[in-house]
């Protein structure tokens, strides 16, 4: 089990589901594997790297559990172990702070 940036522990979260917060009106401007994402709820634009964009793309078809999002982030490049689950969970928490995703099971 890892820790969040504020030092609180990260639970496994394998049953937690995540969803796009504002799929309607969300604008994604792609360039290579990266993107600028405009959030119509906050009127903010965010830069996403390739990994974050893969996770966001996976959510466009609906809420997904953490394990599906880890697989999307890794695209088969590494085994989905506890380290990668904690890294993707940190990424999801950052996307949540940006207002792009929400926890679908709360």
Residue 3 pairs with which residues in a beta bridge?
A: 9
CA dihedral 61, 78, 36, 67 (to 10 degrees): 30
**Averaged pLDDT, 43-52:** 93
For residues 69 and 41, which has the higher predicted lDDT (pLDDT)?
A: 69
Confidence of residue 101 (pLDDT cuts 50, 70, 90): very high
Distance CA 48, CA 77 (A): 19
How much is the pLDDT for 12? 46
- pTM score, whole prediction: 0.79
Among 3-12, 42-51, 76-85, the range of highest mean pLDDT:
42-51
3-state secondary structure of 66: helix
Question: pLDDT at residue 34 above 80?
Answer: yes
The rounded distance, in Å, linking the Cα atoms of 3 and 72 is 22
């Amino acid at each position: 089990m890892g820790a969040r940036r504020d030092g609180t522990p990260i639970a496994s979260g394998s049953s937690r589901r995540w969803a796009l917060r504002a799929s309607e009106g969300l604008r994604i401007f792609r360039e290579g594997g990266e993107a600028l994402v405009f959030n119509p709820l906050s009127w903010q634009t965010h830069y996403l790297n390739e990994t974050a964009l893969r996770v966001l793309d996976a959510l466009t078809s609906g809420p997904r559990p953490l394990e599906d999002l880890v697989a999307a982030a890794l695209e088969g490049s590494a085994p989905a172990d506890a380290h990668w689950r904690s890294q993707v969970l940190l990424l999801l928490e950052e996307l949540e702070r940006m207002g792009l995703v929400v926890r679908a099971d709360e």
